[in-house]
């Protein structure tokens, strides 16, 4: 199956700093990428949908100025958590799809963010 890679897998940052998480589709061009957030033992909550070359569409309740999403190319999307606070600590997962992948959406391995 298609491979989606996330980096970093784990990151610890200080309160008030910003951290960037990358999501790459390694063997296909991802026309659409999705960012999810997951708290321990809970479901995945959709944060935003990004299409290459256009602004991301954020779900209700997600602060777009805090969670900056960029999808500058067909193989890379980035999530930047700005001015991070401890409550932003979470597991962030990206996923990607394209028209050729049918209706299957492929997921990255996720990124653990801990804000201290």
Partner 1 sequence: AQSVAQPEDQVNVAEGNPLTVKCTYSVSGNPYLFWYVQYPNRGLQFLLKYITGDNLVKGSYGFEAEFNKSQTSFHLKKPSALVSDSALYFCAVRANQAGTALIFGKGTTLSVSS
Site of interaction with partner 1 (CB under 8 A): 1, 6, 31-32, 34, 41-44, 46, 49, 51, 91, 93, 95, 97, 99, 102-110, 112
Q: CA-to-CA distance for 23 and 8, rounded, in angstroms? A: 9
Q: Which is nearer to partner 1, 37 or 84 (CB)?
A: 37
Q: How far is the CB of 8 from partner 1 (least distance, A)?
A: 14
Q: How far is the CB of 16 from partner 1 (least distance, A)?
A: 26
Q: Which is nearer to partner 1, 35 or 84 (CB)?
A: 35
Q: Which is nearer to partner 1, 15 or 115 (CB)?
A: 115
Contacting residues for 28 by C-beta, under 8 A, at least 6 apart = 2, 96, 98, 100, 101
Q: Which is nearer to partner 1, 42 or 83 (CB)?
A: 42
Q: How far is the CB of 93 from partner 1 (least distance, A)?
A: 6
Q: How far is the CB of 22 from partner 1 (least distance, A)?
A: 14
Contacting residues for 41 by C-beta, under 8 A, at least 6 apart = none
Residue 21 class from Cβ within 10 Å (0-12 exposed, 13-18 middle, 19+ buried)?
Answer: buried
């Amino acid at each position: 199956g298609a491979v989606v890679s996330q980096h970093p897998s784990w990151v610890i940052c200080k309160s008030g700093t910003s951290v960037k998480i990358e999501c790459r589709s390694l063997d296909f061009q991802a026309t659409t990428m999705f960012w999810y957030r997951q708290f321990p033992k809970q479901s995945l909550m959709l944060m935003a949908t990004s299409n290459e070359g256009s602004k991301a569409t954020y779900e209700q309740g997600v602060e777009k100025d805090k969670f900056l999403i960029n999808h500058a190319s067909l193989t890379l999307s980035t999530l930047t958590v700005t001015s991070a606070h401890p409550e932003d600590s979470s597991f962030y997962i990206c996923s990607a799809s394209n028209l050729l992948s049918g209706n299957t959406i492929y997921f990255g391995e996720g990124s653990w963010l801990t804000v201290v």
